[in-house]
Amino acid sequence: MAIHPVVDIAPSILAADFAALGQAVRSVEPAGVRLIHVDVMDGHFVPNISIGVPVVASLRKATRLDLDVHLMIENPELYVGAFAQAGANWITVHQEATAHLNRVLALIREQGCRAGVAINPATPVSTLDEVLAEVDLVLVMSVNPGFGGQSFWRGAERKIAELRERRARGGLQFRIEVDGGITADTIAPVVRSGADILVAGTSVFHKQDPLAAVRELQRLAGEALLQRA
């Protein structure tokens, strides 16, 4: 039996119109989404700069949905408190971005947020073995982070399955999130592999009707969930 019987679609505002982020979030709320994914990039850890604490604070005023804040930044421990105070509900840091991962995860929880850890395509799942009992979320990057609209990396399916097996074997409860290249064409194998949360940016906010796009992804995810062994 799956630990998490519902697959969440988490629309990513990285692909939305930054001049109307509140409107973008409200446009997908009727689909029953529970998380809005917020990509924070510093131009050092990844080759792009996106948004920071003030935008998260503004989003917090615009929605009651959980803000799933993904810190693609160096030295994330310096900023966890600020993002928590701005209204983040989930904060995810990269295994590759800090030398003291367990300390950062503890800090996130001390701030009252759910703690997540992300791994890039070239990072093995085994590097997380010592912290899996300490996280609420593991984010598998299915593209090299930094830019939206990239093609899905199929090797992510194996890593998702590995995490699902480790979760079952250890009796753990962390959720498995996948970010990068999630479309109507890639969603089924990702869900069948074990994903619980799917981040979707361009496949939602670059569509003429973002609400209909989310609902279609939810439908496809639900069908794939029924096929999960």
* DSSP sequence for 189-200: HHHHHT-SEEEE
Q: Has residue 121 been placed in a domain?
A: yes
Residue for token digits 């030295």? 75
pTM: 0.93
Q: Has residue 70 been placed in a domain?
A: yes
Residue 83 scores a pLDDT above 70: yes
The angle at the Cα of 220, spanning 219 to 224, to the nearest 5 degrees, equals 120
Q: Has residue 18 been placed in a domain?
A: yes
Residue 51 scores a pLDDT above 90: no
Check residue 185 and report its DSSP letter.
T
Look at residue 43 in the predicted model and tell me its pLDDT: 86
Q: Has residue 215 been placed in a domain?
A: yes
The angle at the Cα of 32, spanning 28 to 33, to the nearest 5 degrees, equals 65
Which pair of tokens denotes residue 151? Answer: 């093609």
Mean pLDDT of the chain: 93
Q: Domain total for the chain?
A: 1
Could you please report the per-residue DSSP string of 112-168?
T-EEEEEE-TTS-GGGGTTTGGG-SEEEEESS-TT-SSPPP-THHHHHHHHHHHHHH
Residue-wise pLDDT tens digits, 176-223: 999 988 999 999 999 999 999 999 999 999 999 999 999 999 999 999
Q: Is residue 2 very low, low, confident or very high in pLDDT (cuts 50, 70, 90)?
A: very low
Q: Is residue 3 very low, low, confident or very high in pLDDT (cuts 50, 70, 90)?
A: very low
- Please, how many CA atoms are within 13 Å of residue 215, restricted to the half-sphere of its CB? 9
Residue 56 scores a pLDDT above 90: yes
Q: Has residue 122 been placed in a domain?
A: yes
Could you please report the per-residue DSSP string of 33-99?
--EEEEEEEBSSSSS-B---HHHHHHHHHH--SEEEEEEESSSGGGTHHHHHHHT-SEEEEEGGG-S
Residues labelled catalytic = 39, 179
Q: Has residue 3 been placed in a domain?
A: no
**Mean pLDDT throughout 2-18?**
84
Look at residue 147 in the predicted model and tell me its pLDDT: 61
**Mean pLDDT throughout 79-94?**
98
Residue-wise pLDDT tens digits, 130-172: 999 999 999 999 888 666 666 787 889 999 999 999 999 999 9
Q: Has residue 60 been placed in a domain?
A: yes
At 16, which CATH number? 3.20.20.70
What's at 211, amino acid-wise? L
Look at residue 5 in the predicted model and tell me its pLDDT: 65
Query: Domain of 16?
Result: 8-227
Look at residue 49 in the predicted model and tell me its pLDDT: 82
